[in-house]
């Protein structure tokens, strides 16, 4: 079950955190993985590791906010075969509606929303031609539940959820499925860096506080998110489209 043999997968932000866990798992399951990253050096290092473990992976230096660059890379991949697109790349911001500057608003919207749109826009023609394809977007619990000081980040993830439903509706007749995942807090290098930069000397205390805010009493691990992504992109999930999957340790339903 859940084999991806013979499938080609594009994963944006696929060289770190959740994206890396997805890249590694998909490669283990037989997919040819294409990692799209702003940090090409990191992408090259991680693809080399995947190859050393027996997988097939390629690194591409791409700024997903630049549509022409996205189209160039997807033309290279899609002209051969494109089964799966995972829109994982994104950035965060701390602030409410008053403290979020116009510059920060535009920056986060450009990566999280426009970047996802650019990839979907470029991928769909190839999937339509094949008569099948899977698009999986990374949303968040903040698309459904308000949390403090995440104004623009929450705005982008709400847009991702709506985008998912729209794409699923428009392209179901072409055999293209589109879903999204909504994680709560996940223990990634980003979280560790955030704690180090904002709470020096209190990292352990703040980590435990954040973990305790999840009803299960801990953060998710990237591999747990990757396992859900694998299911939703596999043939076993062939009857699923237009759905949002919270993976949140009970955060939405139990805490709120």
What are the catalytic residues?
Answer: 153
- Coil/strand/helix, residue 247: strand
Q: Which two tokens stand for residue 35?
A: 């990692």
Q: Which residues contact 166 (CB under 8 A, 6 or more apart)?
A: none
Q: Token digits for 66?
A: 């630049």
Structure tokens at 23: 């890249």
Contact, 35 vs 14, CB < 8 A?
yes
Determine contact, residues 12/115, Cβ cutoff 8 Å: yes
At residue 227's C-alpha, the angle toward residues 85 and 144, to 5°, is 75
Residue with token string 């747990």: 224
- Rounded Cα distance between 176 and 170, Å, is 9
| DSSP 8-state class, residue 81 | -
99 is written with which tokens? Answer: 């403290």
Residues in the chain: 256
CA distance 175 to 161: 20
Cα-based distances in Å from 143 to 93, 163, 173: 15, 12, 27
3-state secondary structure of 207: helix
């Amino acid at each position: 079950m859940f084999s991806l043999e013979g499938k080609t997968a594009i994963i944006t932000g696929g060289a770190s955190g959740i994206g890396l866990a997805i890249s590694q798992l998909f490669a283990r399951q037989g997919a040819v993985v294409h990692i799209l990253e702003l940090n090409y050096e990191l992408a090259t290092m991680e693809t080399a590791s995947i190859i050393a473990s027996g997988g097939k992976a390629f690194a591409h230096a791409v700024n997903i906010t630049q549509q022409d660059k996205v189209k160039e890379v997807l033309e290279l991949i899609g002209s051969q075969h494109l089964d799966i697109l995972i829109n994982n790349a994104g950035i965060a911001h701390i602030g409410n509606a008053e403290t979020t500057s116009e510059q920060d608003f535009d920056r986060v919207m450009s990566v999280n929303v426009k970047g996802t749109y650019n990839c979907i826009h470029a991928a769909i023609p190839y999937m339509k031609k094949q008569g099948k394809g899977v698009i999986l977007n990374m949303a968040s619990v903040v698309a459904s539940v308000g949390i403090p000081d995440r104004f623009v980040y929450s705005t982008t993830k709400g847009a991702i959820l709506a985008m998912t439903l729209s794409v699923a509706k428009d392209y179901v007749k072409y055999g293209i499925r589109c879903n999204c995942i909504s994680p709560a807090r996940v223990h990634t290098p980003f979280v560790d860096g955030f704690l180090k930069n904002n709470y020096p000397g209190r990292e352990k205390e703040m980590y435990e506080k954040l973990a305790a805010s999840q009803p299960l009493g801990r953060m998710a691990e990237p591999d747990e998110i990757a396992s859900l992504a694998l299911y939703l992109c596999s043939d076993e999930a062939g009857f699923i489209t237009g759905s949002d999957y919270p993976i949140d340790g009970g955060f939405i339903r139990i805490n709120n």
